[in-house]
Structure 1
Amino acid sequence: MHRQELIKKWLADLYPGQDIGLEFAAADADFRRYFRATWPDGASCIVMDAPPEKMSTDAYVQVRDVFAMVNVPKLLARDREQGLLLLEDLGRVTYLAALEHDGREQVRRHLLLEALDTLVEIQSASQPGVLPEYDAALLTRELNLFPEWFCAKELGQPLNFAQRQLWDAGVQALLPVLLAQSRVFVHRDFIVRNLMLTPGKPGVLDFQDAVFGPISYDIVSLLRDAFIEWDEPFVLDIAIRYWEKARAAGLPVPAEFDAFYRDFEWMGVQRHLKVAGIFARLFHRDGKDKYRAEIPRFIKYLKRTSRRYQELAPFYQLLLQLVGKDETDEELQAAYPVLSYKG
């Protein structure tokens, strides 16, 4: 039976005798799709369709309960065997859509400060042993998506021996710094596409991959986004405001902002490498080109940070060999000195 027909039958069994409309709402990078079910009185819910032969809904349900202190969708019904969830509808307006509609600085700042409050609330509930560990093995697997999919598939340039040495040197410098960060609940895709404009707190979506890991990960996700780019002074301003809120909440961020911002930037390198690899894989393996055009933004992020810290110079040298120089490199050379992590 076609999945959409399966959903209609499931809804008819849940709400017999009611005329329920069904329309496509969204699709994720993986195999999940979302449909909006609408009743004659205008009420609506969201159906998550996760084909059980391809993925499980268990993690979504678990993390939804863990993150229940913030505005996550209420779980209204579930068919685990068929991979169907009926969820509260948090509306149609994502933070991304709201920011693109009204780009005034006061609007941007207001929305992002609301997002920071939600992030701090999630992090403040953190405890070990609840979510999977964001450990060295997982961080490394994610990093390796870059040479496997961006270099070998997107560029058609598998790393040669000398390039592999640069890569290994960069990874060996990066990982210990990430693993040394304090650990909290990590949403793992805390971006403006996954935040909904709702009354009161922002709605939070797409949290099923949450882990227990480095405290700077989610704020990097928010401020170094795939789909919207902020200028550096604005990023710095919001990062400072996050750091202040985190300290006020008793979260284990470094006592000095400079140290936190270095952690933020280095964490960003891991995420940017991973996301460039994921977006390349989505195109070359899965035939999804929706995200491919955003890869250059992550290469720019990577160049900016790896150029700024001498310990990350192997990544910068590798990027120059892979994609060459551009105006970003000239701007970096003029604007930023080379720093050391320990500074």
Structure 2
Amino acid sequence: MDSRLAAIKVWVASILGSDNFTLAPASSDASFRRYFRVSTGQASWIVMDAPPEKEDTGPFIKIGQFLDLQQIHVPEIIAQEQQAGFLLLSDLGKQPYLDVLNSDTADALYGDAFISLIKLQSCDTDTIVLPNYNRTLLQQELDLFPQWFLSKHFDITVPDHLQTTFDLLIDNALSQPQVIVHRDYHSRNLMVVADKNPGVIDFQDAVIGPISYDLVSLLRDCYIAWPQTKIDAWVQDYFKLAQQHGLLADCDLATFIRWFDLMGLQRHLKVLGIFCRLNYRDQKPNYMNDLPQTLAYVMQVCDRYDNLRDLGQFLSSSDKIVALLK
């Protein structure tokens, strides 16, 4: 047993007043955090293990408390030991959206997710201090694509025109209404719950940023794919709901779709780099299985816009990259 796991057992026993419980892995994510499910047989909780030299629990606590006040269903913090990097949380169950999404359930599940997203985006951005998704951060994210996907994974020379495309994507992001952005609002971070569905997790990296960001994370999810006709219909459903809540009053649907498409391209270029970094730097190879779907989203958007033709042609000219799509 590793030392942190032993310390978690002692800590949980001190809170419950008993050592009559089981501790089992619940999930892990792309960070250094780990999650364990504590069960007594009658009740269960989740322990977040966030090594303080690698992860700060402060943002999770602050943002979680804020979201709870906005009636967004997030885990309740039962106990905390910030110096050690331990949090004891309410258990939102074992059923992420990814496990139950299909053609029969998707409309209802995404409908709930839209309502929760509108609540998040309707929050006054002056009521919580969050980082801004500014030009510097957007550029840093995009740089992961040439560094880890092109250079490290494929040993491909980075083309000169790539920064022109990056500037286009950054300008697109900054031109949109700026709202609270979860930043990973997708099927692995939304839990199916009986009350106030969905349960929302993994929100500690929230920022103030583009209104289309979380929607494209949800509908062009790296872990599940839908026909474009379905995505188009859901985008329109969200757009109508957002307009009803005054979020897109001065925006037409065509403009929003362009925001959505280009925002998705920024995210997916970043994610291609992140998945490769997780593999080569962090020894987490499973994310490499999701490269083909993520790349497919990139190619689809490049095909839709003339000013993205250079990027599309560059990617299509590489046999190694094209082979990912087969």
- The TM-score with structure 1 as length reference comes to 0.89
Q: Which shifted more, 245-254 or 187-196?
A: 245-254
Q: Give the match for residue 67 of structure 2.
A: 67
Amino acid of the structure 2 residue aligned with 1:317: Q
Q: Give the match for residue 127 of structure 1.
A: 125
Change in 2 beyond 3 A, CA 1:158/1:66: farther
Write out aligned runs for 1:183-198 (5 A): 183-198=178-193
Q: Give the match for residue 236 of structure 1.
A: 232
Write out aligned runs for 1:256-275 (5 A): 256-275=252-271
Q: How far has the Cα of 1:17 moved from its partner?
A: 3.1
Task: Report Cα offsets for 1:316-341 as digits up to 9, x if no partner.
Answer: 12212345685999xxxxxxxxxxxx
Structure 2 distance, partners of 1:203, 1:124, is: 18
**222, 231, 251: which one pairs with 1:255?**
251
Q: How far has the Cα of 1:53 moved from its partner?
A: 1.3
Q: Give the match for residue 53 of structure 1.
A: 53
Task: Report Cα offsets for 1:275-316 as digits up to 9, x if no partner.
Answer: 000000000111111111111111111111112111122221
Q: How far has the Cα of 1:244 moved from its partner?
A: 0.5
Give the gaps of 5 or more residues in structure 2.
Answer: none
Q: Which shifted more, 310-319 or 64-73?
A: 310-319
Structure 1 distance, partners of 2:157, 2:82, is: 41
Identity %: 39
Structure 2 distance, partners of 1:189, 1:17, is: 36
What is the RMSD computed on CA atoms of the aligned residues? 1.8
Change in 2 beyond 3 A, CA 1:11/1:32: same
Write out aligned runs for 1:112-151 (5 A): 112-128=110-126, 130-151=129-150
Q: Give the match for residue 338 of structure 1.
A: none
Amino acid of the structure 2 residue aligned with 1:221: S
Q: Is the 8 A contact 2:216 2:260 kept in 1?
A: yes
Q: Is the 8 A contact 1:182 1:253 kept in 2?
A: no
Q: Give the match for residue 168 of structure 2.
A: 173
Confirm whether residue 111 of structure 1 aligns to residue 109 of structure 2. Answer: yes
Confirm whether residue 2 of structure 1 aligns to residue 28 of structure 2. Answer: no
Structure 2 distance, partners of 1:305, 1:29, is: 26
Q: Give the match for residue 296 of structure 2.
A: 300
SS at match of 1:229: coil
Q: How far has the Cα of 1:106 moved from its partner?
A: 3.7
Task: Report Cα offsets for 1:23-58 as digits up to 9, x if no partner.
Answer: 111111111110001124x20000000011111111
SS at match of 2:105: helix
Structure 2 distance, partners of 1:71, 1:279, is: 28
Q: Is the 8 A contact 1:254 1:260 kept in 2?
A: no
Structure 1 distance, partners of 2:19, 2:144, is: 47
Amino acid of the structure 2 residue aligned with 1:196: M
Amino acid of the structure 2 residue aligned with 1:176: D
Q: Give the match for residue 217 of structure 1.
A: 213
| Number of equivalent positions | 320
Q: Give the match for residue 98 of structure 1.
A: 100
Give the gaps of 5 or more residues in structure 1.
Answer: 330-343
Amino acid of the structure 2 residue aligned with 1:229: A
Q: Give the match for residue 80 of structure 2.
A: 78
Q: Is the 8 A contact 2:292 2:324 kept in 1?
A: no
Q: Is the 8 A contact 1:174 1:312 kept in 2?
A: no
Amino acid of the structure 2 residue aligned with 1:19: N
Amino acid of the structure 2 residue aligned with 1:235: I
- The TM-score with structure 2 as length reference comes to 0.94
Amino acid of the structure 1 residue aligned with 2:75: P
Amino acid of the structure 1 residue aligned with 2:254: D
Structure 2 distance, partners of 1:327, 1:151, is: 14
Q: Is the 8 A contact 1:307 1:313 kept in 2?
A: yes
Structure 1 distance, partners of 2:294, 2:249, is: 25
Q: Give the match for residue 36 of structure 1.
A: 37
Structure 1 distance, partners of 2:285, 2:204, is: 23
Q: Is the 8 A contact 1:76 1:88 kept in 2?
A: yes
Write out aligned runs for 1:260-339 (5 A): 260-323=256-319
Amino acid of the structure 1 residue aligned with 2:134: D
Q: How far has the Cα of 1:254 moved from its partner?
A: 4.8
